Amino acid sequence: MVLFGTASLALILETRYLIPFLSEASGQEPVVIWFIVAGLGLFIPLLIVSAILLKNEGALFQPGFWNRRLRFRQMHVMDGLWCIGAVVVIGLTSKIIMDGIGMIIGQFDRSPPFMAFQPLTPQRYWILALWLPYWILNIMGEEILWRGVMLPRQEIAFGKKAWAVNGLGWALFHIAFGWQHLLTLLPILFILPYVAQRRKNTWMGVIIHAAINGPAFLAIAFGKL
């Protein structure tokens, strides 16, 4: 949990202090600064930490480290069906939670403050070009470290319950998003690690994460959510 907690602290400091400061100083929307700060100051460091941990294991760039150690394995039909099922369940349960929160506290922003922005207009479509590399770094940075490096380690320590421990750590990482958004994220925070552990395939974490994260951002960006 130390690694999840350290990453969570970095995320809190960046979202509470650095992003608001840079947004005000530059006059740019917080989401633009978020893409830059998170990409360079969070997700690239996660990849660096992954490389350091693998190097300490003696696994970095060794034969088979990508598919055997990190478990980026060939996808099969059943893997694809698991991904589709997971995305559907996550989408439905997240919406139920989101609607439930809305019924209790009223309307709330679908994005945390550090990702705040108005729906895109044609003059601001350039933001999508900035979002795309951030999105790739976000998905790969997290999945390589949390599922590729850490989940197999947690399986050694916690056995069949490793996915739950991984999910708790991932929830800790997302504390900076605020309690409303953390609650709506609970389905993906636990279902994704479960599927990745059950199928022993990190690509499934990448696919599920990307399939939830990408369309959700685009729906918000074009005012559909």
Residues spanned by the domain of 198: 2-62+76-221
Confidence at residue 225, expressed as pLDDT on a 0 to 100 scale: 66
Domain-located, residue 177: yes
69 found inside a domain: no
CA distance 153 to 159: 10
Structure-block tokens of residue 41: 């100051």
User: pLDDT under 70 in the chain at which residues?
Assistant: 110, 225
Contacts of 84 (CB under 8 A, 6+ apart): none
Instruction: State the CB neighbour count (10 A cutoff) for residue 179.
Output: 9
Around Cβ 49, how many Cβ atoms within 10 Å? Answer: 18
Q: Of the candidates 120, 121, 168, 195, which has an alpha carbon nearest to the alpha carbon of residue 5?
A: 168
The per-residue pLDDT for range 66-76, each reduced to its tens digit, is: 999 999 999 99
Q: Is residue 209 part of a domain?
A: yes
Number of domains in the chain: 1
Sign of the alpha-carbon dihedral angle for 73, 74, 78, 80: positive
d(CA 186, CA 90): 9
Q: Distance (Å, rounded) from C-alpha 196 to C-alpha 191? A: 9
Q: Which amino acid is at 190?
A: F
Task: Report pLDDT for 117.
Answer: 80
How many C-beta atoms lie closer than 10 Å to residue 187's C-beta?
20
Residue 143's pLDDT is what?
A: 98
Cα–Cα distance list, 49 to 25, 37, 135, 151 (Å): 30, 17, 19, 15
**Does pTM surpass 0.75?**
yes
Q: Give residue-wise pLDDT tens across range 93-126.
A: 999 998 898 888 877 776 788 887 888 888 889 9
User: Is 144 contained in some domain?
Assistant: yes
- Say how far residue 100 (Cα) sits from the centre of its chain: 23
> How many C-beta atoms surround the C-beta of residue 220 within 10 A?
18
**Does residue 25 belong to any structural domain of this protein?**
yes
Distance, first Cα to last Cα, the chain: 33
Tell me, what's the pLDDT at 210?
Answer: 97
Is-contact 96 89, C-beta < 8 A? no
Minimal CA–CA distance to 6: which of 150, 173, 179? 173
Q: Of all helices (H) and strands (E), which one includes residue 175?
A: none
Asked if the structure places residue 55 within a domain, the reply is yes
The reply to whether 199 falls in a domain is: yes
**12 assigned to some structural domain:** yes
Q: Which two tokens stand for residue 23?
A: 């947004």
